[in-house]
Structure 1
Amino acid sequence: MTLVVSSKGETQKFSTIEQVIYWLRKKWPVADRKRDIAIDYADAAMNCLVTVGAARKAFLAAAKTAGFHPSEEIAGTNPGNLLVPFDCHPERTSRDGRTRKR
């Protein structure tokens, strides 16, 4: 997901959950409740406790209060593996190299 992060039109592409958490903690311009919720949801998604979609929704809510907005329409899409931690993938490879479903 790419957000416009300045009035000059500068953008920032967010492609990993770790990057989202770093930005929320270190670079976010507003320390408010939406930011705190987004951090909590991103941490929870990394531990497969909430869906990636829920974490994305919380992140977009925090972005809105920070004055950021998506650079493209993302409603109803799942752009690849965006913000999907490895352990939450439905397929895993066992020690013998076979893929198995959870």
Structure 2
Amino acid sequence: MKKMQYVVASLLAASVFTTAAEAANFNNEVKTQQGVVAGAYDDKHQVVQWLSVPYAQQPTGADRWREAQQAKKHKGILDCTKAAPANIQYNGKKVLGQEGML
């Protein structure tokens, strides 16, 4: 029984370390319909993340109350390694965030 527990524990540990090592060596640039976006590997949570990827255009002016419009294409590599400011919201005590964020 102890031998089986050792084998299972060894396989589990190997799979965790393999996954973390593979994720750390990921290609952080991904091509989307709008252009290439660059993400980052989060060591603390051991995940690959692309933050603030624009999925639509900012709803301003006449477009404020209309259906969202597809994000515009961009040239070069868009840095998606940092979170955008929070959308405007009410937390029960005060209004937080910024209007017009996506």
Tell which has more relative contact order, 1 or 2 (C-alpha 8 A, sep 6+): 1
TM-score by length of 2: 0.20
Q: Which has the larger radius of gyration?
A: 2
Structure having the larger proportion of residues in strand: 2
TM-score by length of 1: 0.20
